[in-house]
Amino acid sequence: MITRNQIKYINSLQQKKFRLEHQSFVVEGAKSVVELLKSDFEIELLFVTKLFFEENESLLKNLLVQPELVYANELEKVGSFTSNNAALGVVKTKENVELLVKDKEFALILDDIRDPGNLGTIIRIADWYGITKIICSTSTVDIYNPKVINSTMGSFTRISLYYTDLEIFIKNKKVNIYGTLLDGENIHQTKFAESGYIVIGNEANGISEEITKLITHKITIPKFGGAESLNAGIATAVVLDNVFRRNC
């Protein structure tokens, strides 16, 4: 049974100020919790239904925290899901540690991505293409926002994010900085190096002027129709597909 205090605590984690205060966040649903159980995240509380327990007993038996059996209607009283018949976990956030690219590695830089769904999608796309590091501006939406976590479908367990002042982070780095801009080179003709950073800009305004000045390789996705712009997640997918196509 989930106690009243636990319900109050879990619901409070929908807000960023309480996630920061408790250094914890919520993971919901079968897919995301299964991925969580395979990861190195520290689980604080774990509530599971009998069916979920039986289907994932091998993953649950070695946990440091004891999973509590609950009914599905109890799970629906907490978190953000209107329907959850599987599991919910309260998890400790990770330390904000600087991330740098190594040889033959690419990382994403997100300049002011505000929409939780976009960030979640970008994390899933990064995971698909084997990108494990994402550097975010301080104005980019919080990775531990429930909408972000839910939309990653578990990919958040394999991607590290670092929030920082992007201008300071990029300056004096002797690496390739690719950025999606309207006046850049056609991405289908770009010869990408073996490593570097790829900057994705704000949904409405693109890459900021300050960061644009630091880009070493301007690239653009050619337009053939009448749409005004591309969703940030879609743009990320197109860019990464072109980056990694050289290895196909």
Q: Is 27 within 8 Å of 145 (Cβ atoms)? A: no
> What pTM was estimated for this model as a whole?
0.94
With 90 as the cut, is the pLDDT of residue 164 above it?
Answer: yes
pLDDT band at 76 (very low <50, low <70, confident <90, very high): confident
For 45, phi and psi rounded to 5 degrees?
-135, 145
Given this model, what pLDDT does residue 140 score? Answer: 98
- Confidence category of residue 248, pLDDT binned at 50, 70, 90: low
The residue extents of the domains of the chain are 4-92, 106-245
pLDDT (tens digit per residue) in 24-41: 999 999 999 999 999 999
Per-residue pLDDT tens digits for 166-191: 999 999 888 999 999 988 999 999 99
Burial class of residue 149 in the structure, from the number of CB atoms within 10 Å of its CB (0-12 exposed, 13-18 middle, 19+ buried): buried
**Helix axes of 232-245 and 116-128: crossing angle, nearest 10 degrees:** 10
How is domain 4-92 classified at the CATH fold level?
60s Ribosomal Protein L30; Chain: A; (3.30.1330)
Superfamily of domain 106-245 in CATH is: SPOUT methyltransferase, trefoil knot domain (3.40.1280.10)
pLDDT given at position 79: 76
Answer for the pair 45, 64: CB distance below 8 angstroms, yes or no: no
Kindly tell me if the per-residue pLDDT of 247 is higher than 70: no
